[in-house]
């Protein structure tokens, strides 16, 4: 089975994305950043492209919170298209059967787009090709977000990690600073960020060609998330904009968001296992000026401090019959 199709099959078997707390937090943080695109143009004028699978969680959030009504869900599992279409919650979502590397080149690129390539399986050449297609075609003001596993496959043992990565993306795409030793712990996450960023840079060189400086397109990173919930994941992404629009981009004030990251310093979303009573107890002490030193006994300090960082985005789950 094709890699992208395999992703969609896994999505049907994995937990509901809305029920993964760290993933939920990440999605809401990105939504808050997307609101600031209004400094460039009305956010409701954007198109959103993603992988909806069965639940379309990100589609519902971005439609309700941002007013985006031009939405495309790429679905690679051809045997389940009827089920995806049945579960599609909004008539403004167009389900496009096919794999991302075949669907993306077929789409019109006549309006600013937010593309979230939310992969469940490992980085490879085709995924980098998706990023290249987007960067080479999307209008300035568009946003690219790429989510990838941050853990090596179980069969990859120490001593073979660097070679595995070279096999996945090509040896020439692996930066010199990525070594066998660096690929431990969160090392694969940083390697993925570097490789995706370099691919974006190469695509921009091709795109800009002989364009005058003011008309050239630049990329500014906004996201560098890492989290553990049902999986170890990493997300990087940012904004495409004309060089001449840098002042306008500054007026979006992305830098005011404490989770925005423009370099290798990642924002790690904590994996918080708290009871409802603990959550209510912590919230009676929030907000606070210094989340890193927050205390609220008897909740352990690391959990209290992690919650103080993300409580505005943290989901509350209840059982309900609808």
pLDDT digits (tens, 9 = 90+) for 102-155: 999 999 999 999 999 999 999 999 999 999 999 999 999 999 999 999 999 999
What number does CATH give the domain 3-269?
Answer: 3.40.50.150
Q: What pLDDT score does 265 carry?
A: 97
Q: How far is CA 172 from CA 19, 114, 167, 169, in A?
A: 39, 29, 10, 8
Q: What pLDDT score does 20 carry?
A: 84
Q: What percent of the chain has pLDDT over 90?
A: 87
Q: What pLDDT score does 16 carry?
A: 53
Tell me the sheet residues that pair with 269.
227
Contact 7, 75 (CB under 8 A): no
CB within 8 A of 54, min separation 6: which ones? Answer: 11, 12, 83, 84, 87
Q: What are the sequence ranges of the domains in the chain? A: 3-269, 272-322
Antiparallel, parallel or unpaired: β 232-242 and 217-228: antiparallel
Is residue 17 predicted with pLDDT exceeding 80?
no
Question: Tell me: the pLDDT tens digits for 232-285?
Answer: 999 999 999 999 999 999 999 999 999 999 999 999 999 999 999 999 999 999
Q: Which candidate, 55, 85, 88, 90, places its Cα nearest to that of 69?
A: 90
Q: What pLDDT score does 316 carry?
A: 81
């Amino acid at each position: 089975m094709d890699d992208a199709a395999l992703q969609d099959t896994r999505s049907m078997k994995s937990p509901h994305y809305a029920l993964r707390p760290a993933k939920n937090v990440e999605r809401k943080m990105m939504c808050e950043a997307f609101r600031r695109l209004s400094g460039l143009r009305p956010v409701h004028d954007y198109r959103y492209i993603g992988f909806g699978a069965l639940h379309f969680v990100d589609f519902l959030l971005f439609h309700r919170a941002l007013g985006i009504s031009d939405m495309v869900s790429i679905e690679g599992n051809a045997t389940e298209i009827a089920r995806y279409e049945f579960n599609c919650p909004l008539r403004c979502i167009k389900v496009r059967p096919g794999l991302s590397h075949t669907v993306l080149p077929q789409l019109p690129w006549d309006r600013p787009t937010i593309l979230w390539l939310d992969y469940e399986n490992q980085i490879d050449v085709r995924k980098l090709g998706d990023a290249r297609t987007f960067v080479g075609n999307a209008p300035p003001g568009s946003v690219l977000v790429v989510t990838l596993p941050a853990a090596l496959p179980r069969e990859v043992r120490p001593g073979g990690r660097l070679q595995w990565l070279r096999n996945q993306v090509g040896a020439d795409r692996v930066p010199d600073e990525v070594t066998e030793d660096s690929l431990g712990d969160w090392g694969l996450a940083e390697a993925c960020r570097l490789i995706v960023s370099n691919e974006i840079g190469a695509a921009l060189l091709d795109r800009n060609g002989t364009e005058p400086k003011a008309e050239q397109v630049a990329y500014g990173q906004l996201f560098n998330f890492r989290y553990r919930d049902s999986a170890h994941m990493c997300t990087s992404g940012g904004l495409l904009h004309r060089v001449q629009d840098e002042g306008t981009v500054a007026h979006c004030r992305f830098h005011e968001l404490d989770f925005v990251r423009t370099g290798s310093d990642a924002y790690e979303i904590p994996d918080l296992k708290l009871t409802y009573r603990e959550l209510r107890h912590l919230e009676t002490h929030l907000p606070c000026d210094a989340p890193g030193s927050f205390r609220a006994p008897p909740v352990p300090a690391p959990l209290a401090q992690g919650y103080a960082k993300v409580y505005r985005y943290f989901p509350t789950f209840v059982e309900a019959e609808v």
